[in-house]
Structure 1
Amino acid sequence: MKKFFLLGLILTGTAAAQTTITGAGASFPYPLYSKMFAEYKNATGVNVNYQSVGSGAGQKQILERTVDFAGSDNPMSDETLKSAPAPLLHIPTAIGAVVPAYNLPGVTQPLKFTGRVLADIYLGKIKNWNDKAIAALNPGVTLPPLPITVARRSDGSGTTYVFSDYLSKVSPEWKSKVGVGNSLQWPVGTGAKGNDGVAGVVKSTPGAIGYVELVYAKQNKLTFGSVQNRAGKFVLADNGPAAAATLGVVIPADTRVSLTNSANAEAYPIASFTYVIFYQDQKYGNRTEEQAKALKNLLTWMVTTGQQYNEGLDYAKLPANVVNKAKSIINSMTYGGKRL
């Protein structure tokens, strides 16, 4: 009996070791996912292969069913969901902050920005660092007469969606001329791929400014500014202010919601959930029920045990009410109509 039991354990372990789950999408959570998936493999033997290709590419790949899940910082629109071959689900895995990172020699303290000023920089209306609009927000700071090099994403990006969603809420001109999206018709700027690409442009270019997820600013030792929130407070991005963006926000049952420009007085205003997107019914293509269960187990781990890795990498953990909604969504997964 013992021999059969040990053989069963060996076979189970071998199956786990051979299981690979594939995902693609947002670069925003990539540092967190790299850590999560390494820890998950250590604990379970299951390999998760996640490609940081941008939210737009991730959404495209899940629609084409070439990956098990997509990573995206913005939820799919109703229109996009209708184009999917079957119902798709979203769960948040973390809360992140998009920061205005800049390279300004001689200026060591974090500058203050309003949404209007950031919009005007990205509209090409504010062209130099010593512009009176920036100077008025930063009295006592000697601003060099450097031209501003605007860095932005060249790929379909959830970080771009979050940033443009915020700008559209605080600048009517931005909303009417540019709007919200993963890909935009940019008035100005140097394009780069991924959060790491934008961070690289800022790091190597005196006078540059770029919007990146907080961890990319920190990893590249970039200075980033505080941003005025809806309550009028200038807030520097951190886990607490990012998490505060969810307070007072009604989280719908499907969790698709914008957290930008939160009314909470302590909130950082350019915050967002980052999502994993996957099919509710997992029986498609050549997928087995074992693959479906492996994905369900991974997703459950990410919103529970895996949350311990968020704050160490500068992402806020999911609030308890959001975890409960995510677990409910995961538990609705089926295989051929049968609950997993």
Structure 2
Amino acid sequence: MRKVLILVFLLLLSSISLGQSILINGAGATFPYPLYSRWFYEFEKETGIKINYQSVGSGAGIQQIKARTVDFGATDAPLPGKDQGENGLIMIPTVIGAVVMIYNLPNINNLVLTRDLIADIYLGKVKNWNDPKIRAVNKDLNLPNMPIIVARRSDGSGTTAIFTNFLSTVSSEWKEKVGAGTSVNWPVGIGGKGNEGVAGIVKNTIGAIGYVELAYAKQNNLPYAKIRNKFGNVVDATFETIKSSAAFFKVPDDFAVYIVDAPGRNSYPITGYTFLLIPKEQKDLEKGKALVKFIRWAYEKGDKYAEELLYVPLPDNVKRLALKKLDLLTYQGKKIVDLLK
């Protein structure tokens, strides 16, 4: 009898251990990494489900989920609906963020750039900080006679996709000569891996300029430029101006949309959604359930953490569309949302 009780006890311990040992592996975008780190920590604390995330860039995240070497991929470069279907994936938006132009100029904290100037800097046409075009919009600043050191991504990047879509929208020359994508043939610049790499280059290089997600500028205490938007107003990247930009774009059923260069009076011009890519057919039921639980948790409880880090939570109508997409996740032909009930 004693042996039977011990066996039952060990089986109970084993089942408890298994219940707590769900491990989800994900990889991809660096754009949302500051937020995802916080979300995954809080989610594990509440549920016991651990999410291991590798911040390796959107390009790598897309490749890894297509190869099924991870449980989910993360990207800021939206995968078109056709590609989602061909690869057996659904794409779920998580939050909206901003790409900002960080710079390293001692004693200059109020730099203003125009949309055209950003394109000309990255085309290599504006090469010095005291160029007349920069001075024209910064008349109160004592800009140095110093070369502009351009920093950009060296890896496949959703942040790059957002940024180059913005450049292609505001500059016909950029669109024709370079184009948009997760990787492009840069006319100029020093490459850094991830948002972290670009932030590091700028932080350590006087005269440098680079593009990163807003949280990286905040974390590295780097100033970033205000930008004259399409309407003609000079705007900062704030919760309100990012939200204003997103409001001008309709979200399609496949969620594949870039939200750059919005026309609003108060719109910050370089913004984007970031997404999770999840296989429709799940091979592991418990992992499938955990992914659904996480997305529901993020939508219900994650907004406060997003706002703390200056990401903009999704509008309610977008959340409703995304939650409906979860109906497409199956395990052995059965809907995972039904198996959760």
Question: Taking structure 1 as the reference length, what is the TM-score of the superposition?
Answer: 0.92
Q: Match for 1:28 among 26, 31, 45?
A: 31
Change (3 A) 1:232 1:7: farther
How many corresponding residue pairs? 328
Letter in 1 for 2:228: Q
Q: Match for 2:70 among 67, 70, 90?
A: 67
Q: Does 1:316 align with 2:316?
A: no
Q: Does 1:331 align with 2:327?
A: yes
Structure 1, unaligned stretches of length 5 or more?
1-5
On the 8 A contact 1:217/1:223 being kept in 2, the answer is yes
Partner residue of 1:144? 144
CA distance in 1, matches of 2:244, 2:85: 32
Partner residue of 1:111? 111
Partner residue of 1:270? 270
On the 8 A contact 2:123/2:187 being kept in 1, the answer is yes
Indicate the SS of the match to 1:15.
helix
Cα deviation, 1:87-146, whole Å, max 9, x if unaligned, reads: 2111111111000000011313x2111111001000000000000111111112111001
Partner residue of 1:300? 296
CA distance in 1, matches of 2:323, 2:330: 14
Cα deviation, 1:238-258, whole Å, max 9, x if unaligned, reads: 122111122131111222211
RMSD: 1.7
Partner residue of 2:3? none
CA distance in 1, matches of 2:327, 2:86: 24
Indicate the SS of the match to 1:267.
coil
CA distance in 2, matches of 1:7, 1:245: 56
CA distance in 1, matches of 2:108, 2:208: 13
CA distance in 2, matches of 1:262, 1:71: 24
Letter in 2 for 1:305: K
Partner residue of 1:101? 102
TM-superposed deviation, 1:305: 1.7
Map 1:250-261 to 2 at 5 A. Answer: 250-261=250-261
Letter in 1 for 2:188: V
Indicate the SS of the match to 1:224.
coil
On the 8 A contact 1:13/1:45 being kept in 2, the answer is no
Indicate the SS of the match to 1:113.
strand
CA distance in 1, matches of 2:276, 2:194: 18
Change (3 A) 1:96 1:9: farther
Structure 2, unaligned stretches of length 5 or more?
1-8, 337-341
Partner residue of 2:200? 200
Cα deviation, 1:35-94, whole Å, max 9, x if unaligned, reads: 00000000000000000000000000000001111110111135644652xx21111111
CA distance in 1, matches of 2:321, 2:15: 31
Structure 1 runs (4+) greater than 4 angstroms displaced: 6-13
Partner residue of 1:247? 247
CA distance in 2, matches of 1:322, 1:142: 45
Letter in 1 for 2:22: T
Question: Taking structure 2 as the reference length, what is the TM-score of the superposition?
Answer: 0.92
Cα deviation, 1:235-280, whole Å, max 9, x if unaligned, reads: 1101221111221311112222111111222211100011011112
Partner residue of 1:3? none
TM-superposed deviation, 1:159: 0.4
